[in-house]
Each structure stands twice: as structure tokens, then as C-alpha cells.
Amino acid sequence: MKLYGLIGYPLGHSFSQRYFTDKFAAAGIADCAYRNFPIETIEGVETVLQTPGLRGFNVTIPYKQAIVPYLSGLSDEARAIGAVNCVKITPEGLTGYNTDAYGFRRSLLNLLGDVRPEKALVLGTGGASKAVKYVLEQLGIAFDAVSRYVKNGAYTYGDLSEEIVRAHRLIVNATPLGTFPNAEGCPVLPYEALGAGHFLFDLVYNPAVTEFLKRGAAQGAATRNGYDMLVGQAEKAWEIWNE
């Protein structure tokens, strides 16, 4: 039996196990399985790696950067981004990839169509935000980061005036705020500054309409959640594992 999985903590919110289990059933793939490996610290990956039949695994919060020292190699994209969400296990060792960038780019372009906003706000500075920033750079969209804490070159949420929000027509939530079961949470923004020219992308997918997206839509902004991004990154991971 070929086994694949997901490491992170907690994993109650994750769609990966259900997605791949359904995928295997629909395609009649009987020799593969996918399971969750909730590990409270990154050191727990050492136990995961001893699991018989393990061929590869996905990586989610909070280990997309912490996993790197355990790897023997990185794809060019993962190295440029500085975060890993997909690991392939081979006899030569563990190689890290970033398929978040692939999934985000595909889904973002579907949201934007032919429009390219002049500036974007990226909410959050963790591993997921690194893939977002990488894609925005590729697309030539200037961006500013937003952090809970004072960091070089980043706004804090207290800095976000209506003027700043109006000047950034694309806003990407790369934080877990609003994820089920804490669905009432959302980034602190002057939502009244949003309008029909804005695009809001939330990497959160559960619930399908987060408070962040709900408030944006109420102001006329175009919105998209993270589900299509996740499907894209999952399919890219499957392709990598089977190359």
C-alpha cells in the first residue's frame, strides 16, 4: 500500500484527507491511502517518517518553514519562496516543493480576469504568505505586507487607514483568521473603504464564505475563498509524487 499524508497541528480543519480519499475512490486507485499526521511539534515528523509505505506528504500550519531542515533538497520554487507544503520521499532523501504558489496563481487569475490591480495588501507573514508574495511578484503586482507586530517594511493592522485600503485594490488574507470553528473572526480592516473595484482573496476555505469575504462582498468587492487554490495545490502534489 502506498501511503501519503499531511503533517500539521491542529488538523481538524483540513480537507486533504477527504479530498484524496474521494479521489482514490473515484479513480479506482486501490493501492493508495492518505491519512492525517497531527504532530504537536516539528520533531514529530521523525516518527511520521518511519510509517511503512509513506511516499510523500503535505505540510500545513505551522510547519511550512520548520520542515526545511529535515529535507535533503528543495525545488527551485520552494527555495525562492522559503516555504514547503509538499514533500516527496525517495531513496535519495526528502525533497521539498511549494504547490501553494501553483494553486494560488491559478485561482487568483480566475478571480482577476484581465484586471491587474496596481497594489495589493497581503495579510499575514507566515509560510502561506510567502507563496502569495512570490506569485504577486511574478504577476508584476506590487504589494505591502500586514503583520500583527511591527516588522521592517510591513504595516500593522493599526496602520490601515481608509486611504491605504482604497489604494490597494487586491487584499489577500493569508492568516487562519475566520477558520471554522472560529468563523466569526476576521482581519481588522476599515471595510467601509472597500468598493466595487476591490478584489478579496481568502486562503481560508472553511467556511466557504468567511466574515472577511462577507464584509467585502457587502461593499461590492469581488471575492474568492481558498478552495480552488487547495484543489490546485493538491493535484500538483499528486503529480509530483507520481513523476
Q: Which residues are tagged catalytic? A: 64
Indicate if the alpha-carbon torsion angle 126, 130, 131, 135 is positive or negative: positive
**How far, rounded to the nearest angstrom, does the alpha carbon of residue 184 sit from its chain's CA centroid?**
20
Side chain identity at 238, as an amino acid letter? W
Q: How far apart, in Å, are the Cα atoms of 62 and each of 85, 140, 153, 170?
A: 10, 28, 23, 25
Amino acid at 57: F
> CA nearest 97: which of 69, 47, 59?
59
Q: How many CB atoms lie within 10 A of CB 61?
A: 18
Nearest in space to 172 (alpha carbons), one of 210, 220, 219: 210
